[in-house]
Amino acid sequence: MMAQVDLYEVLHNLSKHYGDNCSNCKEVCCVNKILKVNLEDIQKMSKLLGITLWEFRKKYTTLLNTFLKEAAQTGKKILSVEKETEEKNIRILKFISTEAVFNLGEKKVKASYCPFYARDTHRCTIHDSRPKACRHYPYRLMPDDETFEVRKVSTCIISDNFLRRFVKVISSFKDVKTITDKIEKDLKSKQYFDHYPIPKSLVERYIKYEISENKVF
């Protein structure tokens, strides 16, 4: 296992090193999506916007159904308090902060844009305070802490190039085989699945290889 490194940061730096960038993509990852955010994200965004957590929650987020179900099952009554107060909302946010349970996005709109996406400039208007999920995209470490998921949509050059480099490097390892076959086939045919789960240990091996063999960083 690698020493404590921020895999997201390393992978994004690797993309920069190889010259990948998002400029032709028009920020497609900010469109048509449900973005899950947690308390820390909400704190940062509301601070930047100069509004309270409660105002942020009311204006920009909806609670995920999974949380509502869980709250019902565990008998938590926190959602049934009649009067919404800032204190109550902070309590709710703290209660659920271990899970990312809010949807961030325009409500009841089919083609949904993130509310912080500027459609004219294709930019994030809260870039420095954007949620973790956006910072990490197109990668996601799953809750088991062993699986690394790469999100692949057709226009995402970042994931495309990562997967190509990853397949090339990992295919050269004698002891690893089948994991790359499917990815390789999809990259060739341009028929993608949304998510490619990859063992975290392989991503770490790939990074080590880039650092030692290709002298990246």
Residues of this chain that bind ligand SF4 (CB under 6 A): 22, 25, 27-30, 35, 114, 116-117, 124, 126, 130-131, 134, 137-138, 153, 155-158
CB nearer to ligand SF4: give 21 or 201.
21
Nearer to ligand SF4, 61 or 71 (CB): 61
At its nearest, how many Å lie between ligand SF4 and the CB of residue 28?
Answer: 5
H-type alpha helices, the chain:
7-17, 39-49, 53-60, 65-73, 86-95, 132-136, 157-171, 178-189, 200-212
Among residues 88 and 132, whose Cβ is nearest to ligand SF4?
132
Least distance from ligand SF4 to the Cβ atom of residue 209, Å: 23
Calpha distance 178→100 (Å, rounded): 32
Residue 49: CA count within 13 A, CB half-sphere: 21
**SS3 (DSSP) at 37:** strand
Nearer to ligand SF4, 90 or 126 (CB): 126
- Name the residue nearer to ligand SF4 (CB basis): 22 or 63: 22
Question: Closest distance between ligand SF4 and the C-beta of residue 66, in Å?
Answer: 21
CB of 131 to ligand SF4, least distance (A): 6
Annotate 112-153 with DSSP letters as a single string: -B-TTEETTTTEETTGGG--HHHHHTTEEE-TTSSEEEEE--
**Tokens representing residue 184 in the block:** 């390789």
Query: Least separation, in Å, of the C-beta of 12 and ligand SF4?
Result: 9
Least separation in angstroms between CB 55 and ligand SF4: 17
The smaller minimum CB distance to ligand SF4, of residues 93 and 134, is found at 134
Helical axes 39-49 vs 86-95, angle rounded to 10°: 140
The answer to whether the CB of 104 falls within 8 A of the CB of 62 is no
